[in-house]
Chains A and B, each alone.
Chain A
């Protein structure tokens, strides 16, 4: 069982190493297959530990330590993996969906100049994420956390000759580093107060800590989660991250990285429950983000950016669910989201691929004729995203809304926000669908003849289409909920987040009706074009500027920093430091020129000075006597 977890963890790393060390000895297409195999081996390992865990019935989790990694006094950290229901579920999602995405990349990246580097990074990314979810203590989790940031940096900036890609990579890295820092601070506080970073001790000690301490710890963890999951206010890196190749976007959005925040909240729920205020702030952040991202998605014109904002919005739902205490529902949505979001990205990738890199949806109308299968796959993903029954999103999203409803007055506010988000989801998703696949008046855009792509691209899309449809059937509260039961030992849903049947029904009906309303509006505006899109200059401009967050951060952080840097360059560096060097040298030269005159080279003057010096010394000694 733990052997499966170790296999799962190190298979992708082995893939990276083989590709990296093999270098040019590996054929170009071989790298893709090595990477894919390594990730599917990881999936096999994950399945092994999943079934092992079920068979052994040790639901409280097993820690398997390879060796002591760090030791300082009483503080000890082992290189260990933690196998419990939560981590096995994440392992399955990460390696399963990740494997499909890597397989898809083989076709998508075919012919790129640096395929080997790409696949080495992909495996590394999956390894980092697996380290994050499997790490047997908080320090390993943080290590995985940082490595996910690194891998995302490498992959977002994969096309490094493109300036915007490099800028996006840096942005993602800096924002994530901010989250890493707050998380590290939280862990420091935890070490000081509990002397350990093991999950067991951290969680059993969390309720015993003073409320200030535990609030700070939870806040630090939340900072990390918010940065990694691209939630308000650290969300601006996610849309820019679309500069990476499309499968990378799929990997970041579906299997790895952005889901880490939700996982973190579920994993450290004991700490968040001890700091309930912070947990509710997490839920509020999720609600705010899902609304904001839904609104911004309405006006985006880049196909990948629309999907990126929808991810942000869906992660908002997960935060909301985890924040109100319905961890299982959050994780359930994470799973279904992984299916349909990977599907949407891959389908979008096929469109982009067919149009040789065109990403502007205004130039895409009428893709349905050219790419019939992709159209159906995209439709399935869109319906799952909007959450219509029987597609997977329906089961997971509505249970989150229902869970929020149960919790006091703020729960109602959160639920209303989530329902508004459901309307927006319908609107922006089908705006995208109707624009890209809707009927076209003019000539269809010119596709480049390679159809819908090679089989390696179509197979994962097919599998994910099926999963996007049926993936949600695993749990339909309140009738059956195996997932909640499975996760119960690891992250038990709070009592306040267990909705009544009536609430479930209200949430489901309201969400579906609103989702349908969104689709209807989208149909009227973009599908049938019965009505023209309303012109709201001010709002539209605000949305196109993504609520001016980039401008705000530019003014708040970048401009002052640049101003200080320029000032110190001009006044300190150029004015003082640079001028001081030659000045010192010049002074030394002057002194040297003066002293040089004494060195006449005439023996007689030396003797004279010697004698005079002796005489002076003698007189001084005599007088002093």
Chain B
């Protein structure tokens, strides 16, 4: 098998996931949060495809496709929410959406 070993791919995948996770945790703009979520998902996808290659089995790639489909629909809903928030002239700040506070 050519190219770097699976560990490298996993490293990159973990890096992407961490960046995404930090983005979700730290940023307050919902757009950026959605974006970070995408990065997390793609980190996970990368890991799936790396393992797929490593194991010589196509199932991981199919799984990655499914994740993309879910991600696309999730972005649709998320962006829709963002637009809705904007239309109601609310501030685009996830910390202000704290109706569920006990």
Q: Which residues of A contact B (CB under 8 A)?
A: 595-604, 607-608, 611
Contacts and interface: CB of A to CB of B under 8 A. Distances in A.
A608 B24 CA distance: 9
B41 to A, nearest CB: 14
A596 B102 CA distance: 5
A604 B37 CA distance: 12
A607 B24 CA distance: 8
B25 A599 contact: no
Given A604-B94, A604-B95, A599 B100 contact: yes
Interface string B82-94: 0000000000001
A597 B26 CA distance: 20
4 residue pairs, one from A and one from B, having the closest CB atoms: A599-B102, A601-B101, A601-B98, A596-B102
B98 A602 contact: yes
B97 A603 contact: yes
26 contacts: A596-B102, A597-B102, A598-B102, A599-B100, A599-B102, A600-B98, A600-B101, A600-B102, A601-B98, A601-B99, A601-B100, A601-B101, A602-B94, A602-B95, A602-B98, A602-B101, A603-B33, A603-B94, A603-B97, A604-B25, A604-B26, A604-B94, A604-B95, A607-B25, A608-B25, A611-B25
A599 B24 CA distance: 18
Given A597-B102, A611-B21, 9 more contacts: A596-B102, A598-B102, A599-B100, A599-B101, A601-B101, A601-B102, A602-B101, A607-B25, A611-B25
A301 to B, nearest CB: 77
Contacts of B94: 602-604
Contacts of A599: 100-102
A271 B101 CA distance: 81
Interface in B26-57: 26, 33
A81 B21 CA distance: 92
Nearest to A593: B102
Interface string B62-102: 00000000000000000000000000000000110111111
Contacts of B25: 604, 607-608, 611
Among A595, A597, A602, the one with the most B-chain Cβ atoms within 10 Å of its Cβ is A602
Contacts of A596: 102
Contacts of B21: 611
Contacts of B100: 599, 601
Nearest to A611: B21
A596 B100 CA distance: 11
Contacts of A604: 24-26, 94-95
Nearest to B94: A603
B10 to A, nearest CB: 14
A608 B94 CA distance: 14
A497 B100 CA distance: 95
A596 B94 CA distance: 20
Nearest to B100: A601
Contacts of B97: 601, 603
Nearest to A605: B25
Contacts of A597: 102
A619 to B, nearest CB: 15
* Max count, chain B CB within 10 A of own CB: residue among A599, A600, A604, A611: A604
Contacts of A600: 98, 101-102
A595 B102 CA distance: 9
Contacts of A608: 25
Nearest to B97: A603
B90 to A, nearest CB: 15
B33 to A, nearest CB: 8
Nearest to B98: A601
Contacts of B33: 603
Nearest to B26: A604
Contacts of A611: 21, 25
Nearest to A600: B101
Nearest to B28: A604
Nearest to B37: A607
Contacts of B102: 595-601
B22 to A, nearest CB: 10
Contacts of B95: 602, 604
A608 B23 CA distance: 11
A611 B40 CA distance: 12
A405 B56 CA distance: 121
